[in-house]
Amino acid sequence: MLCALLVLALVLQDRLVAVLDVPVLRTASTVFVAVCVQAMPFLVLGVLISGAIAAFVPTGALRRLLPAKPALAVPVAGVAGVALPGCECASVPVARRLMQQGVAPAAALAFLLAAPAVNPIVLVSTAVAFRDAPLMVPARFVGSLLTAVVMGWLWTRFGKAGWIAERALRRLPERTGTSRWAVFAETARHDLVEAGGFLVLGGLFAAVFNVVVPAAWLEALGAQLLLGVLVMALLAVVLALCSEADAFVAVSMTALPLLPRLVFLVVGPAVDVKLVALQAGAFGRSFAARFAPVTFVVAVLSALAAGVVFL
């Protein structure tokens, strides 16, 4: 099957290149490869951490580290996101591994949302980008953490374990006789193959939106605050920029006031097309269909709240 596909692609190479020789398609294919290439190192970092947790951390150890009460475990897990330097692609496999290790789903989800936005690398790049508006950094930190904690609490209150695909929660069978390194390599490989496919899917969406959404809209928006907030929130979802770069994009949108740009920074790492594809892969479609829209609303509101306080 694979061989057949490869031979077919080789045979049709010239035709394929000719078809793609339209400016729009060339741009889209470049953006597609760029998103994939940019995200792969972070995904690999994530699956290696995930594999290491599976192989070397005893089941239940992480759960014992967190407070027993979910209401308390959620904010602790959110703040723990500071420790995972990387963008959102790394946090999905790690969050899933946390669930499999017995961490309460609410806490794992809070970690999932917080990690890409509150880690030091992202905060420093935000500070560098917004040299003239240093309050963007605490505003982003608080807005993102608030999003993560509120989502964790909402999950504690309303979430149903049944929405998460069974495969995401299944404990790893205790393999006696297999070395830990073998477990590590096999888990990392398995996570990589599975999440990688969804990452590519997300990259495809991002590339399509990148050429379809007219960037010229933005310039016309000007000072219409409410519209600006909405459009920036949607733009964060469809552009799927990595959280280390989005601040530089936001700072260049000088036509807009700071608040819509803060919304862009808070929504992006919590919910974007690439991330939704990864979540659908890791936790199942029925989970992603519920989780992503609610996260979107909560992230916008959290960003507005943080903006009112800091900006």
Partner 1 sequence: MRRETQNVLLVLLGGALLKLAFSGTYLRYVKESLQPWLVATGAVMILLAVVAIVRDLRRGPTVKDTEDTGHTEDTGHAGRSPWMLLLPVLAVFLISPPALGADTVNRSDRNAAQEAKPGNGFAPLPADQVVPLTLGEFVTRTAWDDSGSLNDRNVRLTGFVVRKDGRTYLARLMISCCAADASPVKVLAAGRDLGGLPDDQWVEATGRVVPGSATRDNAYVPTFTITGVTPITPPEDPYEG
Using CB under 8 A as the binding rule, whether residue 190 contacts partner 1 is answered as yes
> Nearest to residue 163, comparing CAs of 109, 235, 221?
109
Q: Is residue 228 near partner 1 by the rule CB under 8 A?
A: no
Q: Is 177 in the site for partner 1 (CB under 8 A)?
A: no
What mask, x for binding partner 1 by CB under 8 A, covers residues 9 to 28? Answer: xx--x--xx--x--xx-xx-
Q: Which C-beta is closer to partner 1: that of 65 or that of 134?
A: 134
> Strand, helix or coil at 73?
helix
State both tokens at 214.
């007219």
Q: Which of residues 275-294 bind partner 1 (CB under 8 A)?
A: 281, 284
Inter-residue contact 273 to 237 (CB < 8 Å) = yes
Q: Least distance from C-beta 105 to partner 1, angstroms?
A: 18
- CB neighbours of residue 247 within 10 Å: 26
Q: According to the 3-state scheme, what is the secondary structure of 135-193?
A: CHHHHHHHHHHHHHHHHHHHHHHHCCHHHCCHHHHCCCCCCCCCCHHHHHHHHHHHHHH
- Cβ closest to partner 1, residue 36 vs residue 267: 36
**Integer Cα distance of 220 and 223 in angstroms:** 9
> Tokens 């591994």, residue?
97
Least CB distance to partner 1 at residue 153 (A): 29
Residue 41 CB, shortest distance to partner 1, in Å, is 4
Using CB under 8 A as the binding rule, whether residue 196 contacts partner 1 is answered as yes
Size of the site for partner 1 (CB under 8 A): 72
Question: Given the complex with partner 1, which of 73 and 237 has the nearer CB atom?
Answer: 237
Residues between 80 and 119 that touch partner 1 (CB under 8 A):
none
Asked if 273 interacts with partner 1 (CB under 8 A), we say no
Instruction: Name the token pair of 254.
Output: 């000088």
- Residue 223: name the closest of 260, 176, 177, 269 by CA: 260
The CB-of-48 to partner 1 minimum distance in angstroms stands at 7
